[in-house]
């Protein structure tokens, strides 16, 4: 239950329950339940819908709000910030919508059935990742990132299509109110308002305005999520939160505890805190309840046989299974071959095709479109059977594709996990005995605020393990976000040529706000270097090459951010506090 497979399992259970219930002697109670009226009345305000509409128009707004938050985070601080990495998956996402829609329109009968064409363009991200965890490679981090980037296109386009093609009569005044509420959410985000309550209240009002405007509620969810900004933790706020927690440890009083909690919350962006709070509800409540309310097709009386002989059923199934597999797979591999971009490190052609196959699971979005597009209950049942059939066939196709890829030598779809370049005491910067039985390697960046904190972790571990531990520092300047980090790394290497690496290392971390050229010369003087030699060495080919060698070893070892630790030769994942790293060293 702690993994994405848990959410997929609940989704399957809910689907099975819905199908069994709808085909049981108590099927009447299934229809009666979702037709039950429920409402909220406050004075003149009266909002009443049946339970089926509450699920599809309210709970699904929460589902798309979480998706909007995820997309905004990826755009602000995630994979989508590096445009070089997103070209291939974004092109694949477009191919994975156009071909399925074309196949559907070629196979489906005309008339009302053709209105369900959008049922094949979306992918159920939760179900996709759950299926990947079950039938995919043992480690699939890089493939997961590729597929998440791809589904950004699906999610945004699918919601836009729902809003444009499947909404009712649009009313102008509520739309003006929607725009005003969206502007207020964006303003709060830009001003750095960190409490979640104002955002939650405004998104609820945005949902109400959207319903009143005649648009589908998914628009409110996606729009609200996209407007809540995401950012990386700021060093000053992290340090402030740590001080407040320390104060609570010394004085465990209610007021101090509240202050510590507020400090911790403020150190993280509203976007990520809302995701952490709502994601379990979306995965373990909203999506299973949606499946329970929408997957209950009564297949008795020849309905299943009729559906399996229906062009609409097979238009949906073929559009999702064949369209996604060929559209995504072909577009991604062709784009990479033509040089439009590259596949992520560790992701092979078989992995891409396996992920493309699993993308044919359209479940949640597909069922939502079917319910909105088709009024004829017979057509709706046929399309629903097509969605369920596609989920089964896509999962089986994905499993078979991954097995074939494994036979061809494509194992894990993950970053490398072993240290590519062994520690060499003659080359590496090493603290502790060269032949110590325990080794901790850190890839760091002198402008990274969290690396500065990690230096204390290394010192604490050396005090704990003594001569049993050698601590190795390697350079990974992230010049895209830290423009002075590479020059600082060269300064440390230049100091090392005079036997003062660790002194310069500590000076650079102690003065992270002073890493310009003149500042580095001042640090060199402070640590007792021959300044003239230091200046010459700073730009020497030997020093530049040494930093580049460290960066190359980081890339080859799967280190993408800082700080990254290797315990022995294995890349450490998870927290990197002293206690966690100590346990990893002892267990290794």
State how far the Cα of 409 lies from the Cα of 399, in Å rounded to an integer: 16
User: Residue 122, by phi and psi: left (phi above 0), alpha (psi -120 to 50) or beta?
Assistant: beta
Three-state SS across 42-86?
Answer: ECCEEEEEEHHHHHHHHHHHHHHHHHHHHHHHHHHCCHHHCHHHH
Phi, psi of 167 (to 5 degrees): -95, 165
Beta strands 564-567 and 469-475: pairing type?
A: unpaired
Phi, psi of 319 (to 5 degrees): -60, -45
- Decide: helix, strand or coil at residue 547: helix
From first to last of its 588 residues, what are the pLDDT tens digits of the chain? 455 667 778 888 888 899 899 999 998 899 899 989 888 887 767 778 889 888 888 888 898 898 888 888 877 877 667 666 788 998 999 999 999 999 999 999 889 999 999 999 989 887 888 888 888 888 787 888 888 888 878 878 888 888 778 877 778 898 899 999 999 999 999 998 989 999 999 999 999 998 888 887 888 888 899 899 888 777 678 778 878 888 888 888 888 888 888 888 888 889 999 998 998 888 888 889 988 988 888 888 887 888 899 999 999 999 999 999 999 999 999 999 998 888 887 889 999 999 999 999 998 889 889 988 999 999 999 999 999 999 999 999 999 999 999 999 888 888 888 999 999 999 999 999 988 999 999 999 999 888 877 777 888 898 899 999 999 999 999 987 889 999 999 999 999 999 999 999 999 999 998 999 999 999 999 999 999 999 999 999 999 999 999 999 999 998 888 899 999 999 998 888 889 999 999 987
State how far the Cα of 321 lies from the Cα of 35, in Å rounded to an integer: 32
Please state, in angstroms and as integers, the Cα–Cα distance from residue 435 to each residue in 430, 431, 471, 586, following that order.
11, 11, 11, 17
Q: Estimate to the nearest angstrom the gap between the alpha carbon of 366 and the chain centroid.
A: 22
The 10 Å Cβ neighbour count of residue 452 is 18
Please state, in angstroms and as integers, the Cα–Cα distance from residue 325 to each residue in 335, 403, 443, following that order.
15, 16, 39
- The confidence score (pLDDT) of residue 1 equals 47
**DSSP bridge pairs for 47:** 40
**DSSP bridge pairs for 439:** 470
Please state, in angstroms and as integers, the Cα–Cα distance from residue 60 to each residue in 67, 346, 365, 409, 451, following that order.
11, 35, 10, 41, 41
Q: Which has the closest alpha carbon to 206: 231, 191, 239, 228?
A: 228
Contact of 335 with 91, CB cutoff 8 Å:
yes
Contact of 343 with 146, CB cutoff 8 Å:
yes
State how far the Cα of 318 lies from the Cα of 321, in Å rounded to an integer: 5
Going by C-beta distance under 8 Å and a sequence separation of 6 or more, which residues neighbour residue 414?
Answer: 137, 139, 140, 141, 142, 143, 346, 558
The 10 Å Cβ neighbour count of residue 377 is 10
Q: Which has the closest alpha carbon to 97: 185, 164, 159, 46?
A: 159
Contact of 133 with 8, CB cutoff 8 Å:
yes
Q: Which has the closest alpha carbon to 497: 540, 436, 560?
A: 540
Phi, psi of 298 (to 5 degrees): -80, 105
- The confidence score (pLDDT) of residue 169 equals 73
What are the counts of helices (DSSP H) followed by strands (DSSP E) for the chain? Answer: 26, 7
Beta strands 438-444 and 469-475: pairing type?
A: parallel
In a 13 Å sphere around the CA of 349, the CA atoms on its Cβ side amount to: 12
Contact of 265 with 194, CB cutoff 8 Å:
yes
For residue 168, give the H/E element and its range. none
* Crossing angle between the packed helical segments 270-281 and 196-213, to the nearest 10 degrees: 60
Going by C-beta distance under 8 Å and a sequence separation of 6 or more, which residues neighbour residue 7?
Answer: 126, 130, 283, 284, 287
State how far the Cα of 22 lies from the Cα of 17, in Å rounded to an integer: 8
Going by C-beta distance under 8 Å and a sequence separation of 6 or more, which residues neighbour residue 120?
Answer: 100, 101, 103, 104, 315, 316, 319, 320, 323, 362, 366
State how far the Cα of 505 lies from the Cα of 165, in Å rounded to an integer: 60
- The confidence score (pLDDT) of residue 79 equals 63
Q: Which has the closest alpha carbon to 478: 420, 557, 554, 556?
A: 554
Place of tokens 């989704």: 11
Going by C-beta distance under 8 Å and a sequence separation of 6 or more, which residues neighbour residue 148?
Answer: 70, 74, 79, 125, 129
State how far the Cα of 151 lies from the Cα of 363, in Å rounded to an integer: 14
Contact of 60 with 218, CB cutoff 8 Å:
yes
For residue 194, give the H/E element and its range. none
The 10 Å Cβ neighbour count of residue 130 is 26
Token pair for residue 444?
A: 């760091």
- The confidence score (pLDDT) of residue 327 equals 96
């Amino acid at each position: 239950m702690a993994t994405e497979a848990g959410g997929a399992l609940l989704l399957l259970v809910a689907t099975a329950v819905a199908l069994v219930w709808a085909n049981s002697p108590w099927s009447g109670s299934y229809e009666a339940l979702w037709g039950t009226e429920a409402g909220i009345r406050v004075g003149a305000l009266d909002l009443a819908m049946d339970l089926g509409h509450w699920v599809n128009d309210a709970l699904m707004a929460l589902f798309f709000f979480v998706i909007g938050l995820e997309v905004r985070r990826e755009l602000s601080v995630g994979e989508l910030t590096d445009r070089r990495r997103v070209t291939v998956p974004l092109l694949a996402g477009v191919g994975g919508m156009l071909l399925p829609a074309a196949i559907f329109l070629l196979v489906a009968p005309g008339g009302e059935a053709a209105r369900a064409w959008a049922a094949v363009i979306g992918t159920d991200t939760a179900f996709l990742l759950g299926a990947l965890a079950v039938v995919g490679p043992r480690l699939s981090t890089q493939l997961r990132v590729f597929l998440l980037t791809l589904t950004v296109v699906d999610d945004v386009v699918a919601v836009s299509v729902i809003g444009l093609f499947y909404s009712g009569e649009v009313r102008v005044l509520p739309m003006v109110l929607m725009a005003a509420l969206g502007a207020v959410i964006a303003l709060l985000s830009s001003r750095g308002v960190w409490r979640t309550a104002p955002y939650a209240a405004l998104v609820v009002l945005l949902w109400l305005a959207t319903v009143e405007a005649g648009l589908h509620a998914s628009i409110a969810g996606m729009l609200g999520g996209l407007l809540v900004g995401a950012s990386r933790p700021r060093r000053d706020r992290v340090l402030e939160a740590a001080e407040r927690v320390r104060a609570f440890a010394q004085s465990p009083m209610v007021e101090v505890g509240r202050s510590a909690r507020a400090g911790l919350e403020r150190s993280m962006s509203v976007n990520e805190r809302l995701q952490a709070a709502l994601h379990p509800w979306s995965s373990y409540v909203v999506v299973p309840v949606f499946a329970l309310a929408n997957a209950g097709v009564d297949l008795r009386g020849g309905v299943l046989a009729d559906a399996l002989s229906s062009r609409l059923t097979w238009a949906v199934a073929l559009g999702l299974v064949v369209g996604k597999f060929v559209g995504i797979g072909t577009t991604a591999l062709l784009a990479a071959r033509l040089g439009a971009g590259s596949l992520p490190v560790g992701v092979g052609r078989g992995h891409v095709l396996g992920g493309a196959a699993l993308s044919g699971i359209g479940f949640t979005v597909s069922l939502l479109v079917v319910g909105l597009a088709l009024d004829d209950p017979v057509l709706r049942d046929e399309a629903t059977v097509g969605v369920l059939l596609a989920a089964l066939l896509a999962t089986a196709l994905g499993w078979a594709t991954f097995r074939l890829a494994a036979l061809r030598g494509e194992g894990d779809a993950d970053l490398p996990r072993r240290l590519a370049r062994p520690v060499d005491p003659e080359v590496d910067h090493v603290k502790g005995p060269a032949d110590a039985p325990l080794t901790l390697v850190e890839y760091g960046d002198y402008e990274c605020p969290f690396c500065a904190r990690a230096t204390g972790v290394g010192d604490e571990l050396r005090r704990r393990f003594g001569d049993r531990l050698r601590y190795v520092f390697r350079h990974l300047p992230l010049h895209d976000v830290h423009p002075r980090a590479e020059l600082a790394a060269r300064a440390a290497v230049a100091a090392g040529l005079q036997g003062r690496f660790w002194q310069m290392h500590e000076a650079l971390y102690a003065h992270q706000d002073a890493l310009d050229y003149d500042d580095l010369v001042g640090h060199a003087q402070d640590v007792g270097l021959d300044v003239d030699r230091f200046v010459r060495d700073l730009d020497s080919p030997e020093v530049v090459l040494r930093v580049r060698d460290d960066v190359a070893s980081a890339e080859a070892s799967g280190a993408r951010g800082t700080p990254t630790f290797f315990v022995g030769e294995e890349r450490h994942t998870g927290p990197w506090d002293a206690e966690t790293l100590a346990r990893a060293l002892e267990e290794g």
